[in-house]
Amino acid sequence: MNPRNRKQQVTRVFDGRTHHIALCRGFRDQLPVFGWGEAPSTLLTTAQLRDAGLRRNGQDPVALLVFRHQRPYARETVAELFSVELAAPKRAAAPGQMDHAMEARRTCVDCARVQDYCVPTSTRQCWDCFDDEQGGQVEAAA
């Protein structure tokens, strides 16, 4: 079946305040399905909401965006679409929140010292504690 000859269905999409009449490709999980470039402008994906400085605000998806990739693999991607009208502005971090988070990234879990650098997330250890631990393992192996 040629994708250009697909049957379009008329559906009502409620985006929080108003009902929009739109042509969709069908339904999946009781949600209207739109193709690439076919969704109403009042419906955005989570990434698009984030780029617009908005967040979902706990709302359920209103519709689905389904499209196939041409290259490198012909896989199908399904993205949930959310209403712009029900979205809320992103929350800003509290003044000391980012400082506290960065201090946690610089703190070694073994010696509890705050380092000048971010400790590796794989070990959460400073280089001194990591070298001490690795040195003991090398001696035990020999």
Question: Hey, where are the domains in the chain?
Answer: 3-89, 97-141
d(CA 127, CA 28): 52
> Whole-angstrom Cα distance, residue 25 to residue 27?
7
pLDDT, tens only, 101-115: 999 999 999 999 999
pLDDT in tens, 31-63: 889 888 888 888 999 999 999 999 999 999 999
Question: Does the pLDDT at position 133 exceed 90?
Answer: no
Per-residue pLDDT band for 92 (boundaries 50, 70, 90) equals: confident
Dig out the tokens for 142 from the structure.
């020999």
Phi and psi dihedrals of 77, rounded to 5? -115, 135
Residue 38 exposure: Cα atoms within 13 Å on the Cβ side? 23
The helix/strand/coil state of 114 is strand
Q: Is the pTM of this model over 0.75?
A: no
Q: Does the pLDDT of residue 122 top 80, yes or no?
A: yes
Range in 7-11, 70-74, 82-86, 104-108 with the lowest mean pLDDT: 7-11
Q: State how far the Cα of 47 lies from the Cα of 53, in Å rounded to an integer.
A: 10
